[in-house]
């Protein structure tokens, strides 16, 4: 497999941006080749504490600088990201093993998120008037105050875009950031951060740390004024429990077992092509990736034929160009999990329609996109998230049965509906228990809609990123009321006796004119 195109001096330069006073390092492996990519410095608990102290100091000036100052810097960072896009693609591919095209999705998302938050922050977070309890006597406004320094814990699978979704919104809201990077995705985050520092973000305002999850991640959670976590439900639950001890707010994007419904009026060819990308983009290592397909019986033969063929045609490869359709898994642990899920399903009676095996001839972590039928509840891949290139297909007799089967999960992150009728698809979409639903697309419609909230229900998380909701996470709402002096509010019994009648009359007038 080709070696990473990243220059060792460039990697060492990025590594120096990580907050670490320790001499300890960890080897990070390039997924395509299995060779060492770099030795990542590790942070200590003291490094985390120091990073928060410096970020808090820098955050005071950043918040006071105002929206226009922050907007100008974030827009400058957007332009730098655009200029450095090819290098960013190299970094993302080198760390994750995804294709050039799927790395491009990350860069494009980072650009969109940066532009959106730069332009939307003032509109969303500007103070505004609210109706007071006694009009003219009292005025009331709400003010948004940045929470302080956000702790952001980011996974390895989409390091660039997921980091941007949280960190840029925090910066736009006037917060500082201390970000715990997964070892496997640290270079992507450091390259993203470098663009913002070069654009004018103070270096101390956005720190990146790395190391053991329990120690370093726990230290980030303990110090933060707000926590953003993306990862597994098991780890996210631990983060939420730790944050609850100090009543620190959290947003959690966690696991998924995302369903796709193919209704019998769908175009089987188009549905199969869209489903193929929805299942196997980034080799299924995506929180919103499809892992369960329910297809109505009337279209099942045609859809299955096209879906198997489209999956089998996918070109696997590890080139740093656009020649491959799917790339590699990212870590040995991922390969072990995917292999175990497929082996377990086969041993318990599932049928492999296509794929089903590792491809060491292509590289150490390649695994064929795999379609299974006959998956039953006793199989690991039935309800547990595989987080890899494995999807089960089940034929159902009605859209009602499909909805019930899709909702029969502890997760509720993303879902998809394929149909030839917009009205019918919308009816099914609103019945699905998921934070986002895509019609005639797998995940990219909602994932790319940065003005709309993204998150999960049930065991898939709490809170939302993106859109106004993503900005509002990082601020405290302060209500400021002022007595105008037009009339003094009652203080003593005699005051109430005198003013009760006029106040009741005012209540009646407000009702009559339909004022809240």
Respond yes or no: is residue 381 known to be catalytic.
no
Nearest CA-CA partner of 172 in 153, 192, 150, 190: 150
**What residues have CB less than 8 Å from 209, skipping those under 6 apart?**
18, 19, 20, 43, 47, 48, 51, 178, 179, 180, 181, 216, 220
User: Taking the mean position of all CA atoms in its chain, how far away is CA 291?
Assistant: 18
Separation of alpha carbons 280 and 367, rounded Å: 11
Distance from C-alpha of 89 to C-alpha of 99, rounded to nearest angstrom: 9
**How far apart are alpha carbons 286 and 343 in whole angstroms?**
22
Instruction: Give the span between the Cα atoms of 46 and 103, in whole angstroms.
Output: 34
CA 287-300-382 angle, 5° bins: 40
| Catalytic (active site) residue 287 | yes
Question: Which residue is catalytic, options 105, 287, 368, 399?
Answer: 287
Indicate the DSSP class of residue 358: B
Secondary structure string (H, E, C) spanning 117-177: HHHHHHHHHCCEEECCCCCCCEEEEEEEEECCEEEEEECCCCHHHHHHHHHHHHHHCCCEE
CB 287 within 8 A of CB 230: yes
Structure tokens at 464: 């939302």
From 95, 106, 253, 291, the catalytic residue: 253
Q: Is 263 helix (H, G, I), strand (E, B) or coil?
A: coil
The set of catalytic residues is 253, 287
């Amino acid at each position: 497999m080709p070696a990473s195109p990243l220059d060792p001096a460039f990697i060492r330069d990025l590594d120096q941006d990580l907050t670490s006073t320790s001499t300890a390092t960890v080897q990070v492996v390039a997924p395509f080749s299995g060779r060492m990519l770099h030795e990542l410095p590790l942070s200590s608990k003291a490094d985390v504490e120091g990073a928060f102290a410096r970020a808090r100091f820098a955050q005071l000036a950043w918040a006071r600088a105002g929206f226009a100052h922050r907007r100008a810097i974030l827009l400058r960072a957007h332009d730098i990201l655009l200029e450095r896009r090819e290098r960013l693609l190299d970094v993302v591919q080198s760390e994750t093993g995804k294709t050039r095209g799927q790395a491009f999705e990350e860069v494009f998302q980072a650009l969109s998120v940066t532009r959106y938050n730069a332009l939307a922050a003032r509109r969303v977070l500007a103070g505004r008037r609210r109706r007071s309890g006694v009009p003219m006597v009292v005025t009331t406004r709400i003010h948004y105050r940045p929470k302080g320094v956000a702790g952001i814990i980011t996974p390895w699978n989409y390091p660039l875009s997921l980091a941007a979704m949280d960190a840029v919104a925090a910066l736009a809201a006037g917060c500082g950031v201390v970000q715990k990077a997964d070892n496997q995705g640290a270079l992507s985050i450091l390259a993203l951060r470098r663009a913002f520092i070069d654009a004018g973000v103070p270096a101390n305002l956005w720190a990146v740390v790395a190391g053991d999850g329990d120690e370093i991640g726990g230290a980030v959670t303990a110090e933060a004024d707000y926590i953003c976590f993306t990862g597994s439900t098991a780890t996210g639950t631990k983060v939420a429990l730790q944050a609850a001890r100090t009543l620190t707010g959290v947003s959690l994007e966690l696991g998924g077992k995302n369903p796709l419904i193919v209704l019998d009026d769908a175009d089987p060819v188009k549905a199969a092509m869209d489903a193929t990308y929805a299942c196997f983009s980034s080799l299924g290592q995506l929180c919103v990736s499809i892992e369960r397909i329910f297809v109505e019986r009337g279209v099942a033969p045609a859809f299955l034929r096209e879906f198997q063929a489209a999956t089998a045609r996918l070109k696997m490869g590890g080139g740093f160009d656009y020649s491959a359709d799917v790339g590699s898994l990212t870590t040995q642990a991922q390969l072990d999990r995917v292999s175990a899920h497929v082996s377990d399903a086969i041993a318990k009676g599932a049928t492999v329609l296509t794929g089903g095996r590792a491809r060491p001839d292509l590289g150490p972590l390649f695994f064929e996109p795999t379609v299974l039928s006959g998956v039953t509840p006793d199989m690991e891949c039935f309800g547990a998230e595989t987080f890899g290139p494995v999807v089960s297909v089940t034929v159902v007799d009605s859209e009602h049965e499909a909805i019930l089967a899709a909702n029969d999960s502890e997760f509720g992150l993303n879902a998809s509906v394929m149909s030839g009728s917009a009205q019918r698809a919308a009816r099914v979409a609103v019945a699905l228990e998921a934070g986002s639903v895509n019609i005639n697309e797998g995940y990219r419609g909602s994932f790319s809609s940065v003005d709309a909230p993204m998150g999960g229900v049930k065991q898939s998380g709490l809170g939302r990123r993106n859109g106004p909701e993503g900005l509002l996470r990082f601020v405290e709402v302060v209500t400021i009321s002022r007595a105008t002096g037009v009339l003094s509010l009652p203080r003593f019994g005699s005051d109430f006796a005198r003013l009760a009648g006029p106040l009741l009359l005012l209540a009646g007038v407000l009702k009559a004119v339909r004022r809240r």
